[in-house]
Structure 1
Amino acid sequence: MSQRISFEFFPPKTADGLQKLLGVQQQLLARNPMFFSCTYGAGGSTRDNTLRTIDALREHHPDTAPHLSCIGQTRDELRGLLDHYRDQGVRRLVVLRGDLPSGMGYAQSELRFADDLVRLVREHSGEHFEMEVAAYPEMHPQARSFDDDIAHFKRKIDAGANNGLTQYFYNTDAYGFYLDALRKQGCEAPVYPGIMPILNVANLLRFSHSCGADVPRWLVSKLNDLKDDEAAVKEFGTEVVTKLCERLLAMGAPGLHFYTMNQAAPTLAILDRLGL
């Protein structure tokens, strides 16, 4: 398999949930992923669960990357986390600004942007970590302009990040235009498309609205026609996302990063149809 495949989880809240997640990991391991990653709640709110989940996942796949965000944390706290991960043998991080928890202002954070955090990681840990950073083909919802968003991604790479992982999207033109814009600015870093399987219409539309991901009108219309038939939604969703992946790989995407929602079957169905 020439394309890099990776899978993202979120930290379960219970011991039973963690055991179920390890079962999901076992199913996905058969597809020879490059790495797994585990998210980190707003302001570090899932810190302990993330640490516990990373330790458990790494028992079965050493290349498991914790998300690391700077909002709501001090430089010393971040350096402590970096030391912990280095001591545990972690070699990859997903480095993000992070979301603001309700009621928190930016003044409570010593670092405000992801490129500041990338710089801190390199200053403190040298080249120990491979760093993945966020990319937004449809523009970050808080960006002042598309050009400003492109410049911000380039700053993260210039600060020492290695690769981009995109927000999920369903429009291949957005990805192609994003890459073209980066290349025009002299940024040649690999950018891996983030892939979101379609499982539930209401959840997809609600989450997409909150994170700024566009769901095309034709797709919303078709999903709404099917929303009362769960099996039909999953079948149609698998078809749509498989074709999306096929087009992205044909465009030269270096691999795919799957937002699994802690489930194996939807992602495996797509990978089966792709022959990966």
Structure 2
Amino acid sequence: MTDTSTTRPGTVLEGLERRPSSFSVEFFPPRGDQGEKRLWQALRETERLDPAFVSVTYGAGGSTRERTIQTTARIRQQTGLCTMAHLAAVGHSVAELRHVLSWYAAIEVRNLLLVRGDPPGDPMGPWTAHPEGITHTEELVRLARGLGDFCIGVAAFPYGHPRSADPDADLTHLVRKIRAGADFAVSQLFFAAEDFLRLRDRLAARHCHAPLLPGVMPLTTEKVLHKASELAGVDAPPKLAGELLRYSDNPRALRAAGIDAAVRLGERLLREGVPALHFYTLNNASTTRAVVEALRLGRTMSREPAALT
């Protein structure tokens, strides 16, 4: 095991300050030996690019809790990556949430992304709080803030959370999460830079100036395009969908078109001064690397832009 304590930034905010106009990546816990191998190949490839931080997701209802904790601990101990763990409140009592937060503190994971979470099985099904749990993310933020020296992130929704009554109500929830003690926010997927920038401007108008990171997923296959629409909560704009699906019979060309679209999106966002681009990787580092290299981020800043084919 390599001692990385002298080179690894302690918190997400420190990582962003050390690497302005950088990037971060999100992974999910592996299932089975092949998934484990694929994840660690992606992590090692990502580590060479020097991201500001990496995050590990947490399944609905705590379905991947142990894998999330184990994966996060291993990344924290065996790499030089600044690591952030997700924690979802759904399905957990306050006592269970305290237990998980204590685990993270014990393994020296200081960075958390806290969310209320979707019901297991049917993300759009009825949401019912655990009888001994919490109802809103802001409660989880306060709980974590009182239990350790954590750097806390929360989720933001450019199109509004599907369960919110309207965009203003959703923005109010985001403001409450930040004022409860969150240090930064990471956005859900969106398709146009204006969708994200509009949210950033509306947040600033509420006098909330915590860093807001845009969530980006290169749309390199039809399956990924449909997944992105599902996660964003809206359909991809017809112009973008047509630009990609014209290559539906040519997977290599579709991938290149998806990477090119992500690069154009990233260029616009970086010109607008975002602190970092947060990539949803689906545990595939090669696509993220192509975008990062084309944008000359991380350790690729001194290289020529990567080919997009």
Q: TM-score range by the shorter chain?
A: over 0.9
Q: Where does 1:252-267 land on structure 2 (aligned, <5 Å)?
A: 252-267=273-288
Which of the residues 80, 90, 98 maps onto 1:61?
80
Which of the residues 120, 130, 134 maps onto 1:111?
134
Deviation of the 1:236 alpha carbon:
0.4
Report the counterpart of residue 93 of structure 1 in structure 2.
112
Which of the residues 77, 80, 89 maps onto 1:70?
89
Amino acid of the structure 2 residue aligned with 1:91: R
Distance, in Å, in 2 between the alignment partners of 1:41 and 1:3 is 29
Once the two structures are superposed, what CA deviation does each residue of 1:230-263 show, in whole Å capped at 9, x if it has no partner?
A: 1011100011000000000101111111111101
Deviation of the 1:123 alpha carbon:
2.1
Distance, in Å, in 2 between the alignment partners of 1:124 and 1:98 is 20
Distance, in Å, in 2 between the alignment partners of 1:61 and 1:160 is 27
Which of the residues 232, 237, 246 maps onto 1:225?
246
RMSD: 1.6
Change (3 A) 1:83 1:206: closer
Please identify, of 193-202 and 148-157, the stretch whose mean Cα deviation from structure 2 is larger.
193-202
Once the two structures are superposed, what CA deviation does each residue of 1:88-138 show, in whole Å capped at 9, x if it has no partner?
A: 11110011111111377514351121111101111222xx11011101112
Change (3 A) 1:206 1:273: closer
Deviation of the 1:197 alpha carbon:
1.2
Change (3 A) 1:254 1:210: closer
Give the gaps of 5 or more residues in structure 1: none
Q: Tell whether the 8 Å contact from 2:245 to 2:254 is kept in structure 1 after alignment.
A: no
Amino acid of the structure 2 residue aligned with 1:97: R
Distance, in Å, in 1 between the alignment partners of 2:33 and 2:96 is 26
Please identify, of 103-112 and 266-275, the stretch whose mean Cα deviation from structure 2 is larger.
103-112
Report the counterpart of residue 33 of structure 2 in structure 1.
15
Q: Where does 1:189-268 land on structure 2 (aligned, <5 Å)?
A: 189-209=210-230, 211-268=232-289
Q: Tell whether the 8 Å contact from 1:131 to 1:163 is kept in structure 2 after alignment.
A: yes
- Specify the SS of the correspondent of 1:134: strand
Distance, in Å, in 1 between the alignment partners of 2:194 and 2:127 is 36
Report the counterpart of residue 27 of structure 1 in structure 2.
45
Structure 1 residue runs of 4+, over 4 Å off? Answer: none
- Specify the SS of the correspondent of 1:192: strand
Amino acid of the structure 2 residue aligned with 1:189: A
1:42 equivalent in alignment to 2:65? no
Q: Tell whether the 8 Å contact from 1:141 to 1:211 is kept in structure 2 after alignment.
A: no
Report the counterpart of residue 16 of structure 2 in structure 1.
none
Deviation of the 1:66 alpha carbon:
1.1
Q: Tell whether the 8 Å contact from 1:62 to 1:90 is kept in structure 2 after alignment.
A: no
- Specify the SS of the correspondent of 1:106: coil
Q: Tell whether the 8 Å contact from 2:220 to 2:256 is kept in structure 1 after alignment.
A: no
Change (3 A) 1:168 1:227: same
Amino acid of the structure 2 residue aligned with 1:40: Y
- Specify the SS of the correspondent of 2:269: helix
Distance, in Å, in 2 between the alignment partners of 1:160 and 1:210 is 26
Q: Where does 1:1-12 land on structure 2 (aligned, <5 Å)?
A: 1-12=19-30
Deviation of the 1:219 alpha carbon:
1.0
Which of the residues 123, 135, 152 maps onto 1:131?
152
Distance, in Å, in 2 between the alignment partners of 1:252 and 1:210 is 25
- Specify the SS of the correspondent of 1:174: helix
Q: Tell whether the 8 Å contact from 2:189 to 2:228 is kept in structure 1 after alignment.
A: no
- Specify the SS of the correspondent of 1:142: coil
How much identity, in percent, do the aligned residues show? 36
Aligned residue pairs total 274
Amino acid of the structure 1 residue aligned with 2:113: V
Amino acid of the structure 2 residue aligned with 1:10: F
Distance, in Å, in 2 between the alignment partners of 1:226 and 1:272 is 23
- Specify the SS of the correspondent of 2:219: coil
Please identify, of 232-241 and 17-26, the stretch whose mean Cα deviation from structure 2 is larger.
17-26
Please identify, of 233-242 and 222-231, the stretch whose mean Cα deviation from structure 2 is larger.
222-231
